Amino acid sequence: MTRTTLAGLVSALALTTALAGCGQPAEVKSDMPPLPASATAPITYARDVHSYAQPEIARVRNVALDLTADFERKILSGTATLTVMAEPGATQVVLDTRNLDIRSVKDEAGQPLQFVLGAADPILGQSLTVTFPPFTAGESRKIVIDYATRPDASALQWLTPSQTAGGEKPYLFSQGQAILTRTWVPTQDSPGIRQTYEARIVAPADLTVVMSAQHLTPEGESAGEGQKAWRFRMTNPIPPYLIAIGIGDLEFAAFDERSGVWTEPSRLKAAHDELVSTADMVDAAEKLYGPYRWGRYDLLVLPPSFPFGGMENPRLTFATPTIIAGDQSLVSLVAHELAHSWSGNLVTNATWSDMWLNEGFTVYFENRIMEALYGRERALMLQSLGWSDLQANLRDLPAADTRLHIDLTGRDPDDGLSDIPYEKGAAFLRTIEATVGRERFDAWLKGYFERNAFTPMTDVGFLKDIRQHLIQGDAALEARLQLDNWIYQPGLPSNAVAPVSNAFVPVDAAARAFTLGGPASAVPWSGWSTQERQRFLGWRPASVPAGGRWLTDAQLADLESTLKLRQEGNAEVVFAWLQIAVAHRYQAAVPTLEHFLTTQGRRKFVLPLFESLWAQGDWGQPIARRIYATARPGYHPVTTGSVDDVVGRPN
């Protein structure tokens, strides 16, 4: 690892007033606060096994996109102008690409530069090595890459009008995490190589373009017959997986002066009413851990095929419509994505082996926001549900994959995407809080975000910070915390304590009584919150009988009818019910299952249900194949990439 001085570079890029190949309105100023000193501090680059980049030699500092969206051909084409800094004497910069058609690479003066695409790797894609004259000390240069994406770009999903709520206009959205940005932007696609970006996007004039950046042209600009151009600028350096775009029939409704929601017109009122607490969440988050550094905080509620619950793209969280439950019961997802504005976007895991530094911190922070707004008991219910998910992962995953710092060499970074980085990471932080006290812990965590703002973080860096600023040489405290055991050992250390929600005691009693033969009419379903309903449906006997079934068909029918589970609209509740139904081969629930799997593509729901079906052998596998053949065309590549490994790709 090489230490490289970046003083002054980010600030200079933040003040840039020209987009490559297209003028930027000079009167539009950044609405984000000035960058702290940490943003220009020297960086120690961690070795990232998921990137070809060699940032210790040459690194990308700014990306300026000038792209046209072609919905007929399903491609983005145009140029990416990269601002590169390099060590004195360096003659090459190595970029990440995957399935991009590179047409030319030139310098700022328009002169061709030599470039070579490396051998293709199914996970990493191809390196793009660009050669130029030797760099001098302190020099930066621009290289202009003319390219086009391909229709099957894994980061992009092109939706037909029939796949949208309005049914009349097409839609495009991106999903770059973890290493999919390279399928639509040729850059150094590593979370440890932060970059600012600018963009000019040309799209059909009847569509609206949004990005994870400051919107410089809210109404768009004429770009020829039937076309408009939209301009954006992100002056804070971000990891490239957070470069994001959405194009569609979109309208906006504000929550307050700095937050609001974008979505399709027919969904706007429901989305606004459901997510109106977002403004209060921003206020609560700032009171906990310091100022929000990204200007606006808006949401884009996407079509149902969006593969994740949410994606924390700066200034514009992308969210699944499955959180629109009608009763604000699933808004903890918004708290989660907002919390990423500190843990993930501000302080970022340098490599995906330390995903817990993004996700564990965020689950902890999310829960604190929920506690501040909705009370301690709701926060404890959410903790308890997460703890149950964690126990399942600890039981089912290989021991090596239950460590917080995970070895992903030769593996897709999505292999580390389990409840371990999320829930074990959060449990780790709760353990520290319980040991040192909330006031002391909060002071350290707020300082952690301030000291490390806009920098990549590793497990080693985390340990250095907490030992210096919290433990401060206290050997007894160090021993009680068991820091190394939490990060480097499988399972849970001996100081882990399960969260307990008193609200779940009667829920568990009701589940036990029903399992033993009581009627579903005795279950106080109508008076329960979504979290209590999830707990009830997630309850299992300590010892499940042979065959994996703990309910009779008569009990399942009673449950489905009495609780009106066929009509249930809350996605979390439907998912929990369908897991029971599949485990029992309950044929009457198959229509509900088919509808659920063909009307949304959130991988959190889709993948486990197909896995459960597949585990049911001669009963479940034919159902899985049939449903997947219908559903797959509507799923994002992130989802199909996982389900293909279970069911196989339909012929």
Residue type, 17: T
- Tell me how many degrees the CA angle 76-307-563 measures, rounded to the nearest 5: 150
Ranges assigned E (strand) in 98-207: 101-107, 114-117, 126-131, 140-148, 156-159, 171-174, 195-204
Length of the chain: 651
- Catalytically active residues are 337, 422
Q: Say if CB 572 and CB 331 are below 8 A apart.
A: no
φ, ψ of residue 33 in degrees (nearest 5): -65, 160
Between CA 484 and CA 506 the distance in angstroms is 38
Helices (H), 522-602: 530-538, 553-562, 571-583, 590-599
Other Cβ atoms less than 10 A from the Cβ of 293: the count is 20
Distance CA 222, CA 250 (A): 18
In contact, 298 and 260? CB cutoff 8 Å: yes
CB of 446 within 8 A of CB of 347? Answer: no
Alpha helices for 194-331 (secondary structure H):
268-275, 278-289
As a whole number of angstroms, the distance between CA 214 and CA 230 comes to: 11
- Residue 598 backbone phi and psi in degrees, to 5: -105, 0
Omega cis (within 30) before 244: no
Smallest CA-to-CA distance from 255 within 296, 207, 294 is with 296
Nearest to 211 by CA among 219, 199, 202, 223: 199
Characterize the bridge pairing of strands 92-97 and 126-131: antiparallel
Q: Quick check: 64 and 19 in contact, CB under 8 A?
A: yes
Sequence-ordered list of residues with C-beta below 8 angstroms from that of 158, at least 6 positions apart, any chain: 71, 74, 151, 170, 171, 172
* CA separation for the pair 536, 530 (Å, rounded): 10
- Residue 517 CB-density burial (10 A; 0-12 exposed, 13-18 middle, 19+ buried): exposed
Residues 6+ apart with CB under 8 A from 234: 196, 197, 198, 212, 213, 214, 243, 314, 315
Q: Strand, coil or helix: what is 266?
A: helix
Six token digits for residue 525: 């379903």
534 closest CA partner among 568, 498, 495, 583: 568
Compute CA 624 distance to the chain's CA centroid, rounded to the nearest angstrom: 27
Label each residue of 398-421 as H, E or C.
CHHHHCCCCCCCCCCHHHHCCHHH
